[in-house]
Amino acid sequence: MVRAGILRHKSATESVALVTDARRVLDHVERFLGGTGPGELGRTELAARLFPSSHALDAGTRLEAAATRALRRRLGDLDTRELWARAGAHLDRTSAPALTWRLPIDPVTTLGALVAASTAAGLPYHVTQLALHEHPVVRDPVASTDVLVTENPRIAEAAAERRHPGAVVAANGNPSGAVLLLLQRLIEVGAHLRYHGDFDTAGLAICGRLHQIGLVPWRMTAADYLAAVEDATQDGVSLTEDPRAVPPTPWDPSLRTAFAQHRLVIHEERLLDTMLDLPDTRSTG
């Protein structure tokens, strides 16, 4: 906390109080992780239990900064929302939902009926963590179904506009807790998840993380990247360069080499027509 500057301009008394409060949060988390404390809570609920105000752990407060920094040392360098969720104090279960189109969920179930009604109306459906906790995804008819997972919400939106016959989940950049929970549920019941994202360093890093949890990169090879660059060049498009360090691409190591050589960014919206014109996403090529 000292090195992070969290105690800067605090008196000795204030510093002791802040450290003590941070320790109270961590003690609660340790009890949760060890299975000896209460179950999952909302972070505002946790704050109300431990401190005089439910806003004591709001983003921007020194206590939240201290606790978040400590949790990262304990649980790893995770996104803030996922970090607190793993600590048993989720930020909430209704914001940052997963944007979906035509999820293959049994329409007899409550969640499936909502999805089916949304699909019939030609509208994408936002799935929250709360919905997934309250209404589990059952195996039929999800098993063996192909689901295209994309980085950008425009792909799901376009799928709805075109009444695309396949299922689409949009991660909306770095996946939120709701997106990760939905993907986990789909994997558990046997769905085939294929991922496509932007060809830039951030997009490749997201693809790598999702690959680790069981998604298969789709049309994310060096050949796909080079073909997209060539197509943009022929169209006279001046592509942006990405100077950042290129992450590993273990599903196709040559992609990392190709991107490091060219460093030209291809956003997946440019490839939208190709993505949605191919209903069969089982191929990894």
- For the stretch 80-120, pLDDT in tens is 888 998 899 988 888 889 999 999 999 999 999 999 999 99
Is the pLDDT at 281 greater than 60? The verdict is no
pTM recorded for the entire structure: 0.78
| Domain spanning 98-276: CATH 4.10.1110 | no
Instruction: Please give the average per-residue pLDDT across 223-249, as a whole number.
Output: 97
Is the pLDDT at 136 greater than 90? The verdict is no
The whole-number pLDDT of residue 144 equals 84
Question: If 0-12 CB within 10 Å is exposed, 13-18 middle and 19+ buried, where does residue 114 land?
Answer: middle
DSSP codes joined into one string, the chain: -TTTTTTTT--HHHHHHHHHHHHHHHHHHHHHHTT-S---EEHHHHHHHHSS-TTTT-TTSHHHHHHHHHHHHHH-S--HHHHHHHTTEES-SSSSPEEEES----TTSHHHHHHHHHHHTT--EEEPHHHHHHSPPPHHHHTT-EEEEESSHHHHHHHHHTT-SSEEEE--SS--HHHHHHHHHHHHTT-EEEEE--BSHHHHHHHHHHHHTTPEE-S-SHHHHHHHHHHHHHTT--PPB--SPPPP-TT-HHHHHHHHHH-B-B-GGGGHHHHHT--------
251: amino acid identity, one letter: W
Instruction: Establish how many alpha carbons lie within 13 A of residue 148's alpha carbon, considering only the half-sphere containing its beta carbon.
Output: 32
Confidence category of residue 283, pLDDT binned at 50, 70, 90: very low
The whole-number pLDDT of residue 72 equals 94
Domain boundaries, given as residue ranges, for the chain: 12-90, 98-276
The whole-number pLDDT of residue 1 equals 86
